[in-house]
Amino acid sequence: MPTVMDATETAVELERPARSVVSLVPSFTELVCELRLSARLVGVTRFCVEPAETVAGIRKIGGTKNPNLERIVQLAPELVLANREENNEEDVEALRAAGLQVYVGDVKTAADAVAEIERVGELLGGITIKAKSPSEDAIEEQRHLERMRPKVRVAALIWRNPFMAASGDTYIGDLLRVCGGINVCEEMASQGRGRYPRQSLSELVALDPEVILLPSEPYRFRERHAAELLAQHGMSAGRNGRVFLCDGQNLTWWGVRTGAAIAEVAGLLDQARSGWQADASMVEELPPGLNLTVTQQDVVE
């Protein structure tokens, strides 16, 4: 009987591995599909768009911040997957009050993402990571390189008008640390400016990042937005042409994409490490996807 403690210190207790699941989080939806258990998904949000061909036919139950609670209760799932940052506490409590088992995750680091895969795998039927996952390999590789490579001052923006950046108290912020970045907004959460502090253009220039990352979501940064920042020659990133558009799903969807996110961010930061390059012998090619084994507890589809 799977029992897992979630981020709200609530014990999620199931009589059997969950055969019907509602996911309120795109990262969880993608993870369940990667575990080859998409047939168990009876409802997902409209923001759960990957893998596109798989999720197209799954019932939509609203958004992450405004799910249709009545519809979810009618579906009577054995498990609801939610996240502390992406979903509202009152919605979680309402679903629990209706008698549903709700697992709430909270991913703020790359290591958290690895642990989240393990916990959800347990709730779905004893699915475990065999040896190391690609994400664990990627984290270990970056730790090895940390002793040799120069640090890079970096800002990762998630919004425009006003600019908003990831502080150190976020999953994106941890990706920057893992990849050898010095987040110029690292301490702003502890200074009372929030986990995604607002930045004026003049403040961003004064912080002088060597690299600026512009992900494709939640705000869809485009070439013209990069050009605006590249024109700011008062900061190193603009002066040296190191304002990069990057994959927003990689940067913000933890779990399946964590290994790819580390590879992308590390590669972009490497462009600012003048004269330094990781020796090819240090870097092993990472296998695609998750390396899984399914125990006998698992329910055959």
**pTM for this prediction:** 0.86
The reported pLDDT for the residue numbered 299 is: 42
pLDDT band of residue 290 (cuts 50, 70, 90) is low
Residue 294: helix, strand or coil by DSSP? strand
Span 247-272, mean pLDDT? 93
Instruction: State phi, psi for 201 to the nearest 5 degrees.
Output: -60, -40
pLDDT tens for residues 68-111? 999 999 999 999 999 999 999 999 999 999 999 999 999 999 99
Backbone conformation region of residue 271, classed left if phi is above 0, alpha if psi is from -120 to 50, else beta: alpha
Largest CA distance in the chain: 61
The reported pLDDT for the residue numbered 148 is: 84
pLDDT band of residue 279 (cuts 50, 70, 90) is low
Q: 31 near 256, Cβ under 8 Å?
A: yes
Q: Which single residue is written with the structure tokens 């961003």?
A: 204
Of 50, 79, 88, the residue nearest 250 (C-alpha): 50
Beta-sheet pairing, 21-23 with 3-5: unpaired
Q: Which single residue is written with the structure tokens 């024109």?
A: 231
Rg of the chain in Å (alpha carbons): 20
What domains lie within the chain, and their CATH numbers?
A: 3-130+290-294 (3.40.50.1980), 149-277 (3.40.50.1980)
- Pinpoint the alpha helices (H) of the chain: 26-34, 52-55, 69-75, 89-97, 110-123, 134-146, 171-178, 201-207, 223-230, 236-239, 248-252, 258-270
* Cα–Cα separations (whole angstroms), residue 180 to 144, 159, 173, 189, 253: 11, 23, 11, 20, 20
Residue 293: helix, strand or coil by DSSP? strand
